[in-house]
Structure 1
Amino acid sequence: MRVADLKKRLQESEGQVVAAGKDYVEAAESATLHDLDVNDFGLPKVKTSEMVTVYSGRMARKKSPGRVVYDALILAARDGCCPLCGQRTVSTLDHHLPKSLYPALAVNPLNLVPACSDCNKLKLDVVPSSAEDQTLHPYFDDVEGQAWLRARVVETSPAALQFFVDTASDMDEVLARRVRAHFKKLRLSFLYASQAAQELSNIRFRLLDIYASGGAPGGQQVQQHLAAEAESRRKANVNSWQTAMYSALASSSWYCNGGFDAR
């Protein structure tokens, strides 16, 4: 760094940054990030604005010394897909706990989550006041062990889908509330309904062909096709909107028996 004074103060703050990182990991592993006191994550020798600048200028900026870490985190997202919404393309890093309030975590890789710009904006710089206020953390929260994303068919012309959270009774209640809060805060019902509307339009002609192909009753053939599509997607991602969508379609006798052609 060219600013010798800031470099010196950062070096002197190293122990505090490391300690703050350890406290953060312990809280994340026990789902108690909401219990952390923001006053414990300031750095007496470094201003918050300076830590924000260290992140933006020395890590996020292209060709900066820390950019290699930034890029590695961006590329860590599976299929380049935002882990917060599971749909849009990763384009930035989100500070799980905001850098403006937790400056000691500003450049901590475990506090930096690859995300799309929309999810990054929707999360906002908010301090969680309770466990359910905290959005899901892709590095520490495992919610893929059971299906919780569901959909229902809306019998309109054209057909539509509504997405909602339906957690299993054996899921930890706090985690279940967090899943619902995450779903609501990031407006995932609207995102998935929009994507599903396009998919419904894309599969219409294929379903018409299946319905009219002969053999077993058309509705039965359509149902079997949709059920197979749902199972294929379930094996890839149990809680994708595609899994929820095809499962709902396969379960709707109205849709299978011609609702797919409602216009």
Structure 2
Amino acid sequence: MWSLKRPALSALSTFSTCISRVRNPGLADRLALAKPAIVVASTQFDKAARVHALHSIATHDVVAPDITVSEMEKVYTQRMAKNGSPGRDTYDEILASAPGGRCPLCMQRSAATLDHHLPKAHYPALAVAPLNLIPACSDCNKAKLDAVPVMAEDVPLHPYYDDLGKEVWLTATVVERQPTALKFAIARSNAWDDTLYARVNNHFRSLGLAALFASEAAEELLNIRHQLQILRDAEPMDGVRDELERRAQSCAAARVNSWRTAAYRAWSDSDWFCEGGFLPGG
């Protein structure tokens, strides 16, 4: 997961913008009366997230005084996410915060939607709260579903509040058989407590990142195999390893815990791989 800067947008201003064009006078009045509850919910979210206690926030099915889950979901879908809606600029601003347009949750696929960190079906007061909205790819968004955390270990990683640090925590191991492959895993950072370690592992497992990274690494190997063979033929002892080490260093300079960095580290560390294991027939 990549960390992101928290949005500067307030829940009150975002909600006010989203409901600014409601034509039904009765609904407009009722939504306006919900503004204090929206502010309280966002403030509570921020305080809990800062101490990694989002599991302590109670689910609810009414936003005071009388706004239903369905009505709040429509504020998001029709008045924020919909093209041309009053809140679409805010939606696009949050979406654009994804680094390089990539999903910060899987660090690989394109961020094409906003994910509700706490699902709007169970926390409707947070339906358009910027702190609860994270740029994400469709696959990660779907994988999270509408799960409600009941313990600290259950809380998904949040790019605005969780920082996994710069120690190496993503590793890969070469499978020494043909066709070769990589197995990705999480290595516990010295800076993590037990709860964060459990949350990182839950994140890795629930989003299927081991399979995603292994697939991407297989494609990467396919693209560089010809060059590695040329290097092996020219410098049988060190040509392949030197090239892989250079690539590992270059990738690490950009992102120390990207799948590419982990892949090139694993390949360069494997004598079997460097001595020809990268070839289709070994």
Q: TM-score under structure 1 normalisation?
A: 0.96
Structure 2 residue aligned with 1:14: 35
Contact map agreement 1:151 1:163 (CA 8 A) in 2:
yes
Aligned equivalents of 1:256, 1:149: Cα separation in 2: 21
Do structure 1's residue 47 and structure 2's residue 68 form an aligned pair? yes
Amino acid at match of 1:7: A
Q: How does 1:77-116 map to 2 (within 5 A)?
A: 77-116=98-137
Contact map agreement 1:156 1:262 (CA 8 A) in 2:
no
Q: How does 1:16-165 map to 2 (within 5 A)?
A: 16-39=37-60, 42-165=63-186
How far the C-alpha of 1:53 sits from its partner, in A, is: 0.4
Contact map agreement 2:62 2:69 (CA 8 A) in 1:
no
Aligned equivalents of 1:41, 1:176: Cα separation in 2: 34
Structure 1 residue aligned with 2:208: 187
Provide the secondary structure at the position in 2 that maps to 1:94: strand
Amino acid at match of 1:220: D
How far the C-alpha of 1:144 sits from its partner, in A, is: 3.3
Q: 1:220 pairs with 234, 238, 247, which one?
A: 238
How far the C-alpha of 1:39 sits from its partner, in A, is: 3.4
Structure 2 residue aligned with 1:231: 249
Aligned equivalents of 1:219, 1:129: Cα separation in 2: 54
Do structure 1's residue 255 and structure 2's residue 276 form an aligned pair? no
Q: How does 1:188-207 map to 2 (within 5 A)?
A: 188-207=209-228
How far the C-alpha of 1:192 sits from its partner, in A, is: 0.6
Amino acid at match of 1:150: T
How far the C-alpha of 1:45 sits from its partner, in A, is: 1.5
How far the C-alpha of 1:171 sits from its partner, in A, is: 1.9
Contact map agreement 1:58 1:64 (CA 8 A) in 2:
yes
Higher relative contact order, chain-length normalized (CA < 8 Å, sep 6+): 2
Alignment identity in percent? Answer: 47
How many residue pairs get aligned? The number is 260
Do structure 1's residue 2 and structure 2's residue 23 form an aligned pair? yes
Q: Deviations over 1:220-261 (max 9, x none)?
A: 221111111111111111111101100000110000011111
Do structure 1's residue 240 and structure 2's residue 258 form an aligned pair? yes
Contact map agreement 2:80 2:90 (CA 8 A) in 1:
yes
RMSD of aligned Cα (Å): 1.3
How far the C-alpha of 1:169 sits from its partner, in A, is: 3.5
**Structure 1 stretch displaced more, 139-148 or 76-85:** 139-148
Aligned equivalents of 1:39, 1:49: Cα separation in 2: 12
Contact map agreement 1:74 1:91 (CA 8 A) in 2:
yes
How far the C-alpha of 1:184 sits from its partner, in A, is: 0.4
Q: TM-score under structure 2 normalisation?
A: 0.89
Aligned equivalents of 2:190, 2:131: Cα separation in 1: 30
Aligned equivalents of 2:31, 2:237: Cα separation in 1: 67
Structure 1: which 5+ residue stretches go unaligned?
Answer: none
Aligned equivalents of 1:86, 1:168: Cα separation in 2: 19
Contact map agreement 1:149 1:240 (CA 8 A) in 2:
yes
How far the C-alpha of 1:168 sits from its partner, in A, is: 2.3
Aligned equivalents of 2:125, 2:202: Cα separation in 1: 26
Contact map agreement 2:62 2:68 (CA 8 A) in 1:
no
Provide the secondary structure at the position in 2 that maps to 1:38: coil
Amino acid at match of 1:253: D
How far the C-alpha of 1:41 sits from its partner, in A, is: 7.4
Contact map agreement 1:160 1:193 (CA 8 A) in 2:
yes
Q: Deviations over 1:93-116 (max 9, x none)?
A: 000000010000000011010000
Structure 1 residues 179 and 95 mapped into 2: Cα distance closer, same or farther (>3 Å)?
Answer: same
